[in-house]
Amino acid sequence: MIGATSTMTGGVTAPRGFRAAGVSAGIKADGGLDLALLVADVPATAAAVFTINRAQAAPVVVSREHLGRSGGVARAVVVNSGCANACTGEAGMQGARDMTEQTARLVGCPPEQVLVASTGVIGVELPIAKIRAALPAAMRALAPDQGARAARAIMTTDPFPKESAARTTIAGVDVAVGGMAKGSGMIEPMLATMLAFVTTDAAVPQPLLARALRETVDETFNAITVDGECSTNDTVLLLASGASGAAVDESTYPAFAAALRAVSVELALGIVRGGEGATKLVTIRVSGAADAAEARRAAKAIANSPLVKTAIHGGDPNWGRLIAVAGRAGVAFDLSRAGVTIGETTLFDNGKPYDHNAPRAAEYLKGNDLIVGVHLGAGQASSTVWTCDLSADYVRINADYRT
């Protein structure tokens, strides 16, 4: 028996078999929470997707190594915010390894069963002594009800924490999926300075877990963009404890995948809503593409266009900017069959403008959740990408990020 997916309260510790904690290690100048710990009660099956940026941070390298050595088994994840530990040379690599070794000693597991992630300013030395000193407190604070504190501890410029959880039924057994994420700027996950940690209490064979994560990431975390910037630290981790007693196989995979997608899309949209300086969540729907890859390419080009994003911020229904981006996106495009809609209002269709509809579109753009549609006139494929507007606050935040 396979049940439908429904939302539930909680985050990364909503599934059984996981405890979390969030403490202050003194990395952040304001003394805020900056060290998170996620621990599985027993070794969990694990899968990951990492940044494709070639300037990869030390924790990305170490976590990838550990997953390879453990055969996809993890007992704990340790995360610091306030320092990306990226571009920090051999000292950074040693710091990331030290984080896993100290955590393994406290948890009582091999170091390769500990995964590590960092987020913050690039090129700053990791204050490993502070992390080492704070880890025992994090261990003492571990509890199934501390997921929300862990979600706050991984934040940098995020205006709010991101948590989500869902449940489904597999073979008559309730199964939960939960997660937490951070990300606000340097966001075009391929992945971005985006971290996401997702858990489930189902038992999932590692190949199926890895497949589910890849497919879900492509539809969610890799379908968002704030500023088109791919970070050095992007990581999405998925851990399965098996504590529910329900086992996922090919026959029950769709139910599990649906719950995983429900949690992931909520976390991904939270990242866009909390984008640096963002005031609007914008759904870009591209249709009429020659194939799915071209649809995604055009949607990303539109979503990343500063001209499009500033027009949306200002409430200007400038359909010409959308057509111009679609035409230069490097995909099949037929102007005579192309179209643009803002909300349900048609502004351009089959090569003809409908400027008399502009006032209605401008009124719609005053909202906070917007849908923009572009038809390429070249086929039947489509793609959806989520982005946000570009405001003066984005410039201010990033102009002052290090200073």
Q: Which amino acid does the sequence have at 363?
A: E
Q: What is the DSSP letter of 65?
A: H
Strand-strand pairing, 352-353 and 345-349: antiparallel
Please pick, among 103, 157, 193, 216, the residue that the annotation labels catalytic. Answer: 193
H/E element holding 121?
Answer: none
Q: What's the chain's length in residues?
A: 403
φ/ψ of residue 151, rounded to 5: -65, -35
Asked if 133 contacts 102 with a C-beta cutoff of 8 angstroms, the reply is no
Which letter, b or e, does each residue of 46-78 get, where b requires 16 or more Cβ atoms within 10 Å of its Cβ?
bbbbbbebeebbbbbbbbeebbeebebbbbbbb
Q: Is 200 a catalytic residue?
A: no
The SS3 assignment for 370 reads strand
d(CA 10, CA 183): 19
Main-chain dihedrals φ then ψ at residue 129, nearest 5 degrees:
-60, -40
Using CA atoms, how far apart are residues 220 and 174, in angstroms rounded to an integer? 24
User: Six-digit token pair at 206?
Assistant: 């590692």
Q: How far apart are the first and last CA of the chain?
A: 57
Give the DSSP H or E segment for 260: helix 253-273
Continuous segment of H or E residues that includes residue 394: helix 392-399
Q: Which of 231, 222, 272, 300 is nearest to 394 (CA)?
A: 272
**C-alpha distances in angstroms, 275 versus 69, 216, 282, 299?**
36, 21, 11, 18
DSSP one-letter code for 143:
B
Nearest to 309 by CA among 191, 220, 187: 187
In this structure, what DSSP letter does residue 4 have? P
* Count of Cβ atoms closer than 10 Å to residue 264 Cβ: 26
Q: CA–CA separation, 115 vs 92, rounded Å?
A: 15
Q: Do residues 198 and 179 make contact, with C-beta atoms less than 8 angstroms apart?
A: yes
Q: Please identify every residue annotated as catalytic.
A: 193
